Amino acid sequence: MENSYNYFKRDISWLSFNYRVLLEAEDENLPLYERINFIAIYSSNLEEFYKIRVADHKAIANGGARNSEESVESSLQLLEEISAEVNRQLEKRVEIYENKILPALRRKHIVFYQSHRVEAFHEEYIKSFFKEEIFPYLQPVPLWKDKVTSFLRDNRLYLAVRLYLKGTAPEDPSHTQYFVMKLPYSKVPRFIELPRHGEEHYIIYIEDIIKANINSIFPGYQVDSSYCIKISRDADILIDDASEGDIVEQVKKKVKKRKIGAVCRFVYDRKMPDDFLNYLTDVFHIDKNELVPGDKHLNLEDLIHLPNPLKGIEENPKPKPMRLNCLDNKESIFRYVAKKDLLLHYPYHSFGHFIHFLYEAVHDARTTEIMVTQYRVAENSAVINTLISAAQNGKKVTVFVELKARFDEENNLTTAEMMKDAGINIIYSIPGLKVHAKVALILRKNKKGNPIRSYAYISTGNFNEQTADVYADCGLFTCNKTLVNDLHTLFSTLGGKQNPVFKRLLVARFNLIPELHKLIEHEIHLAESGQKGRIILKMNALQDSAMIAKLYEASSRGVEIDLIVRGICCLIPGQPYSKNIKITRIVDSFLEHARIWYFGNNNSPKVFLGSPDWMRRNLYRRIEAVTPVLDIDLRNEIINLLNIQLNDNQKACFVDENLKNVFKNDILQPPIRAQYAFYAYLKDKNETFL
């Protein structure tokens, strides 16, 4: 039966998710600048997609061997599908931006110039600003075919200019010249606020100021036209795990090469004439397949920095992280967790509680050792600073640092070296694996040196106080001896111990997949014996065909399955073998990031939380940690979260068999916006401790 199953293509599914992000910019119920931010997020996501996923497919299509499971022919076909879908989405982005966002700004008395033609009362200001603030940083570089040309930096904006000598015939190619200028990146903001006029506020792109003064840059020439361009380069770095060399040195060298990676996308203003574009592609040796038509203004991810002249008038009503009253009235998290497990939901709860947990360990005389995994940490991290304080306070501190965390390699390496200098024991990446588990362990002993109550923390999110404000995650504190011992075994495994045995903790590459199969099989058995088989799986991505096939089988045999999947979902609903499966996608103020799994177990539910999605990389090529939620109250709290999300009729949509985002539009039911409803639920629960 499994051979007859079908699956969505991973990258086409991801594009469906990113399109859902873009659709938030259409929601007129959101604050205007939040809508603008969703255009920026969509654009930023797409940029990374090209640097990693599209770059991989291009490498295979060109004869590379990054992924032996993919053929040259299938890569070429997929690249065509991606290009068609991206172009369709970019048309929608133009429509939203020009027909909805810009008019909405005008209604709020914000005029966002979209060309270099400005009102007369701004002309002199723009000339002066250009001369004093922009012109000193411009360096036009001539472009000549078959000669050495300027190197285009990754994701930097350039202005391509075509001009000809004054007094000559423009149609004579021998008198035509081409230049390229990099826009000032760090010296001048992308958006310039102009003097207010009456009730109106004015903003303009830096490139439009340059265009308004472009003739002064090229004396003796007549400028024919100018258009923005940019290049995206392959940003994936492959660490040679088989090499005997130092992985730290590999990372240092290969991160530097990221800036000069192969071109995977050349984006240009779609209004650029064909002969102009052809000249540029010849000069920069751009393949036609790498061309992506864009808008007049590129790098719309920069919109996240768009000035808001009305800031303070239009407030963003996002929930603010709350501190738990049950902890604020007690001195010690240790004492609280000694009596009862504790569950934090970020960003609804303050990440400061976890920092305080580490702080207690630093100052607890009986704490002997602290162990933590590091995947992505914030810059100037309070977590890292507290661990350094612990080492300086005589505690043994061990931190496993994953150097292969994409785009965080440099930050992780710098942080690791700083911790090492402070006396912290650093364990670096394991060859052939990434360690993605989000775990911390506090080991304690009495004065005689005998082990006493210790504490474990297992989370769905990174130890990062910055992302904890925007990522919806959860973390469990427990002193359950079995889980503490299992976590100690996990850290011993990261340090090189072989053949570990885990009793309750589920760990990828060891017992995770067998236990998942047992849990699914049990729900199948219940369904086939006349009882209710029920599964709810919340995660960021579902891609592994073997696990999807198991869900197809469970659906075919009567198990009712709800999937709450934010991003990639390769499972196809609406098929005979998936008739009992629904896929819900939620995109709202916070990034849904938690991985939570529910198995009905004949009305005695089993609930788990942890770090892995059901991607092949998570299940087979990473170390991931998942804990059962054993406390009945906390288990019910998570079940309430899942039910609230499944009942969302404001920001949730179904994903159908055509990868369409189908909004519920359930006008007969009271409105439920899950993130805000769950915050209200937690707030009410918190107030019972007052």
**Catalytic residue list:** 436
Q: Which residue from 299, 345, 293 is spatially nearest to 91, judged by alpha carbons?
A: 293
Taking the chain, what is the end-to-end CA distance rounded to the nearest angstrom? 57
CA distance linking residue 614 with residue 596, whole number of Å: 11
Contact 334, 455 (CB under 8 A): yes
Residue 223: other Cβ atoms inside 10 A: 15
506-507 and 595-599 strand pairing: unpaired
CA distance linking residue 200 with residue 650, whole number of Å: 34
581-586 and 560-565 strand pairing: parallel
In DSSP terms, 596 is beta-bridged to 538, 609
CA distance linking residue 529 with residue 191, whole number of Å: 65
Helices (H), 560-673: 616-620, 632-646
Q: Which residue from 523, 488, 520 is spatially nearest to 505, judged by alpha carbons?
A: 488
Residue with tokens 């799994």: 597
170: helix, strand or coil: coil
Give one DSSP letter per residue of 435-446, joined into a string.
E--EEEEEEEE-
Output DSSP code: residue 388: H
Residues whose CB is less than 8 angstroms from the CB of residue 155 and which lie 6 or more positions away in sequence, other chains included: 47, 230, 231, 232, 233, 299
User: How many residues does this entry show for the chain?
Assistant: 690
CA distance linking residue 85 with residue 18, whole number of Å: 11
Task: Provide the phi-psi class of 122: left if phi over 0, else alpha when psi is between -120 and 50, else beta.
Answer: alpha
Residue with tokens 């002993």: 445
Q: Which H or E element spans position 160?
A: strand 158-165
CA distance linking residue 118 with residue 200, whole number of Å: 13
Structure-token pair, residue 682? 């937690």
Residue with tokens 């004093």: 132
Helices (H), 364-444: 382-392, 409-421
Contact 439, 459 (CB under 8 A): yes
Residues whose CB is less than 8 angstroms from the CB of residue 297 and which lie 6 or more positions away in sequence, other chains included: 114, 205, 207, 228
CA distance linking residue 321 with residue 453, whole number of Å: 30
The angle, 0 to 180 degrees and rounded to 10, between the axes of the packed helices 382-392 and 352-363 is: 0
Contact 511, 493 (CB under 8 A): no
425-428 and 396-401 strand pairing: parallel
Alpha-carbon dihedral 12, 17, 21, 26, rounded to 10 degrees: 80
Contact 623, 632 (CB under 8 A): no
Contact 662, 655 (CB under 8 A): yes
Q: Which H or E element spans position 563?
A: strand 560-565
CA distance linking residue 193 with residue 306, whole number of Å: 10
